[in-house]
Structure 1
Amino acid sequence: MIRIRQGKVTEILERRRGVTEIKVEIQGANEGEIAKAINYDFLTGPVQLDDEVSLNTTAVHKRLGSGGYHYVMANLNIKERDVDEIGHIMKLRYTPMQVKCFSVEEELNPSRAKIEDFTSMKKTPVIVGALHSMLAPAAAGVKAASRGKLRVAYIMTDGGALPLQMSRMVAELKDKGLIDATITVGHAFGGDFEAVNIYTGLIAAKQAVKADVIIVTMGPGIVGTGTKYGFTGIEQGEIINAVNILEGKPIAIPRISFVDPRDRHLGISHHTITVLTKIAITPCVIPMPTMDPIKEQFVNKQIIKSGIPFDHEVIVEDGAPALRYLIEKDIVVTTMGRTMSQDREYFLAAGAAGILATRYVVY
């Protein structure tokens, strides 16, 4: 079920690449309440002051992780709106918000021939993360280690937010040169390139983008239930398998934290252990960041107990240069509201993955 309310735009907070953040006055039962909302311009059209809008208020009402935003379902001041004729692949299929995309697999797409010519990824390094917040330090690791010379493609899956424009971080990373191109796969949309699934997304990164290093994570947000298999980050294992099938070189970012209040995420997260022992049935490289000896010993015991080294290659790598690179570029990153200084090992692991990936680039 969707909780729907009507509202009137009272303030434009920010406009950026396909997204407008607004304040709305809720009408009806909550008359006079002022709330924040997000309008995706490419879905519902541009929004102006005093426009009447229909809002999906479900997540805020349920106090879920929406950032406190309602979402514009329709701008009632826009009666008709046409789309261009290019592209026939629908994402968000069979929903009122289904959106037309020009996918790389389509016959008229200039990238189609490159997709058809694909034979192998030829061991191109693919960094596979489990959370969106891993993206920035991983990209920084690549750029720091290569002095900005390597080309980075970001593939956003549909495990979190579906519109790429929801991510402020992606926009900043592109503006500051840490990401060279974006690809959205599955029902995620809004990238420089659209692909039907992770396989053609990886192929597009290799063939159309000509990426030296590829980073794959879901968009902002994650679904977790506290159960062993009930989290969207479990896709990390399936993506590792996909990379191997296409003959790439998968590098899995381990989720490590010593400040997360939940015991199941202490040290190396149970999410990572589940992915690497149950889902990833093909091998990958796992970068372990240089840490305080006590923390390193704690994580090593977890890894040995899980049996991960029997199936995957664990390599220690210093992730600190990636974090310094982010600071140099004035890029502020957080995970679960925690900064790099507060949850250092988490970001070091992602940075180490980026640095390690550069060692596998074939020139």
Structure 2
Amino acid sequence: MLRWERATVIDHRPGWAGVRRLLVRIDATGETVSALASPELTGEPGTGEQVLLNTNALRRGLGTGGEAMVVARPAHLPAAEEIAGHMVKARYTPMQTMVDAIDDPASEHYEILQHAEGLDGMPVVVADLHSSLPAVVAGVRAEAPQARIVYVHTDAAALPAAYSATAATLREQGLLAATISAGQSFGGDLEAVTVHSALLGARHVAGADVTVVIQGPGNLGTGTGWGFSGVQAAEAVHAAHVLGGVPVAALRVSSADPRARHRGLSHHSATMFGRATLAPLRLPVLDPSDDEYSAFHMSVTEQVESAIIGPALERGCRHQLAPVRTEGLIAALEALPVRLSTMGRGLEEDPEAFLYAALAGRCAASLTTDC
């Protein structure tokens, strides 16, 4: 079901690369609301212009993505931009878009992708929540300041890669070398048809030392064991493994989540990495010799052993516990140019949520030899 409403643009607000934030007045009610526009899809809305909105998220009061979306500018159709390739993303939706993918025969990178056979042992950090991205980057940089980090934006949540203000800022600040939108996701610096080709592109086109694979903003959860979009992370682990990379799990951990199933080690991490993953990976936890080690971190390690390593071993999959020290990580997290937030909680409210993602970044960086 789509909720359509017409509105008039009355002002522009600060946006970010690939996204315009607008203040619009709903024609039918006169109320003023916030709306987002993607210039890639609609062109640039101007003040005083009438726009057609999809207000599903706005009217449902959703958190992430809870704004009106500009679908069209009826009086100003954007000019068609011809591209060399023929790849379509958001396929068979009314907003399907043509992209130049690195694995398209018309791409300048096609020959590289044709001959790329593996990842040469590149570490691949895999997480389920988009909020982990900056913390992983901080962890990598704390260990290997010169490392080239590439972010693969999967299609489990927000399809437009530009919707991530976090990734856009990290890219602008030089903390990410590139963003690659994979699958049905679109709008990255580079486009790829699959996570597999995105990983190969990260290594052989973008020159990544470390790649981070995470869905975009807007994780969808149901409260059931398997009904959450982040479970797609298991597929990224498999892709990294079969291509000769080294998968590293960014564990979802919290000491402040009001839901018992997400306190300590989240049941989502247990499902993704303990039950859905069929390839070995490294599981970064706090080193017991670290000054910050406490009963909480001991409990998390025990949960990892019982809920991830044990179930995986029963299926013949040998995960590896990877103790990591925290020295400098909190400072690296505090120095990030983006606001850390997960489920409405920041670094002060829920430090463990970001610390364990940073541990994964440091673990991955320690596996590189050239940084």
Is the structural similarity TM-score above 0.5? yes
Alpha-carbon contact 2:124-2:245 (below 8 Å) kept? yes
Name the amino acid aligned to 2:342.
T
1:165 pairs with 2:172: no
Name the amino acid aligned to 1:114.
I
Instruction: Give 1:135 shift.
Output: 0.6
Instruction: Give 1:84 shift.
Output: 1.5
Distance 2:115 2:66 in 1: 45
Instruction: Give 1:292 shift.
Output: 4.1
Distance 1:51 1:320 in 2: 53
Other structure's SS at 2:279 match: coil
Q: Residue deviations 1:273-295, cap 9 Å, x none?
A: 11122111110001013554210
Instruction: Give 1:80 shift.
Output: 5.5
1:175 pairs with 2:172: yes
- Higher alpha-carbon deviation: 243-252 or 332-341: 332-341
1:303 pairs with 2:291: no
Matches within 5 A, 1:26-175: 26-28=26-28, 31-79=29-77, 81-146=79-144, 148-175=145-172
- Higher alpha-carbon deviation: 38-47 or 304-313: 304-313
- Higher alpha-carbon deviation: 255-264 or 82-91: 82-91
Distance 1:150 1:66 in 2: 30
- From the superposition, tell whether residues 94 and 67 of structure 1 become closer, same or farther in structure 2 (CA, over 3 Å): closer
User: Which position in structure 2 is the counterpart of 1:322?
Assistant: 329
Name the amino acid aligned to 1:285.
R
Instruction: Give 1:155 shift.
Output: 0.4
Distance 1:131 1:258 in 2: 16
Distance 1:319 1:211 in 2: 24
Instruction: Give 1:194 shift.
Output: 0.1
User: Which position in structure 2 is the counterpart of 1:9?
Assistant: 9
Name the amino acid aligned to 1:201.
A
Q: Structure 1 stretches (4+) deviating beyond 4 angstroms?
A: none
Other structure's SS at 2:328 match: helix
Alpha-carbon contact 1:36-1:68 (below 8 Å) kept? no
1:360 to 346, 354, 367: 367
Distance 1:259 1:66 in 2: 19
Normalised to the residue count of structure 1, the TM-score between the two structures is: 0.95
Distance 2:326 2:2 in 1: 43
1:226 pairs with 2:223: yes
1:342 pairs with 2:349: yes
Distance 1:151 1:317 in 2: 21
User: Which position in structure 2 is the counterpart of 1:351?
Assistant: 358
CA RMSD of aligned residues (A): 1.5
Q: Residue deviations 1:178-237, cap 9 Å, x none?
A: 111110001111111100010100110111011111111111110000011100110111
1:248 pairs with 2:255: no
2:197 to 200, 205, 208: 200
Distance 1:7 1:91 in 2: 27
- Higher alpha-carbon deviation: 231-240 or 314-323: 314-323
Other structure's SS at 1:214 match: strand
- From the superposition, tell whether residues 353 and 51 of structure 1 become closer, same or farther in structure 2 (CA, over 3 Å): same
Alpha-carbon contact 2:65-2:218 (below 8 Å) kept? no
Distance 2:55 2:105 in 1: 39
Normalised to the residue count of structure 2, the TM-score between the two structures is: 0.93
Alpha-carbon contact 2:138-2:336 (below 8 Å) kept? no
- From the superposition, tell whether residues 346 and 80 of structure 1 become closer, same or farther in structure 2 (CA, over 3 Å): closer
Other structure's SS at 1:335 match: coil
Other structure's SS at 1:276 match: helix
* Structure 2, unaligned runs of 5 or more: none
Give the count of matched residue pairs: 360
Alpha-carbon contact 1:60-1:66 (below 8 Å) kept? no
Instruction: Give 1:87 shift.
Output: 2.2
Alpha-carbon contact 2:170-2:337 (below 8 Å) kept? no
1:275 pairs with 2:272: yes
Distance 1:238 1:202 in 2: 12
Q: Residue deviations 1:150-175, cap 9 Å, x none?
A: 11111000111111111111111112
Instruction: Give 1:331 shift.
Output: 3.3
Instruction: Give 1:330 shift.
Output: 4.1
Name the amino acid aligned to 2:259.
R
Distance 1:42 1:81 in 2: 11
Q: Residue deviations 1:239-297, cap 9 Å, x none?
A: 11111111100001110001000010010000001112211111000101355421022
Instruction: Give 1:329 shift.
Output: 4.3
1:286 pairs with 2:283: yes
Alpha-carbon contact 2:99-2:191 (below 8 Å) kept? yes
